[in-house]
Amino acid sequence: MQICFASHNENKVKELNEIMPDGFKIIGLDEMGIKEEIAETGDTLEENSRIKARYIFDQYKTPVVSDDSGLLVNALNGEPGVYSARYAGQKKDADDNMDLLLKKLSGESDRSAAFQTIVTYIDDTGNEHQFKGEIKGSILTQKRGANGFGYDPIFQPDGFEESFAELSSEVKNRISHRAKAVQKLLEHLHQAND
């Protein structure tokens, strides 16, 4: 089963294809030849995920999956949250985002945080379903590791000594916020097909 993924982010497309079981293939917007950038104008992860999925469904009438993810840091009242990708500016530079976050947390003892993903699925009839995944952890004082993308080098999931960027993709894709949301989507798809 091929599913359109409403994103130009090749890292997310790759990660989702690694998470999905055999029989499922995620096709990103670039691979589909869709060039439009979908403005993330929502105030919540749920809204942004919905906006992206609804735009693709309305334009192309195809079942679609989208996601929006955010890092929520307790000491910063949930920042960067919905603005995670563009925390340090519109160019969406991961290193700049991490540097700004580490600067804001300098000297802060409470480094607890959570990664959240909201996956939106719109089926071929236009019915919309949302699934949430979350993993708790803490923000490290410096970047560690070379795997993954985004905030992975500074996020250490609870129960692990490694940052997301130090974990193998197999381990990360089993425990991550995105994996948890996708697992809920897969359960929905299996139930819908029974």
Q: What would the DSSP string read from start to end of 67-103?
A: EEEEEEEGGGTTEEGGGGGGTT-TT--HHHHHHHHHH
DSSP state of 24: -
Domain boundaries, the chain: 2-192
CA dist 126 → 38, 54, 55, 68, 187 (Å):
19, 9, 11, 19, 19
152 is in an annotated binding site: yes
Contact 4, 60 (CB under 8 A): yes
Considering the segment(s) 2-192 as one domain, its CATH architecture is: Alpha-Beta Complex (3.90)
Judged against a pLDDT cut of 80, whether residue 32 lies above it is answered with: yes
162 among annotated binding-site residues: no
84 annotated binding-site participant: no
Which one of 30, 58, 68, 99 is the catalytic residue?
68
Q: What pLDDT digit, counting tens, does each position of 79-130 carry? A: 999 999 999 998 889 999 999 999 999 999 999 999 999 999 999 999 999 9
Please write the tens of the pLDDT for every residue from 127-165: 999 999 999 999 999 999 999 999 999 999 999 999 999
pLDDT at 193 over 80: no
Residue 68 is a catalytic residue: yes
- Checking if the pLDDT of 46 tops 90, the result is yes
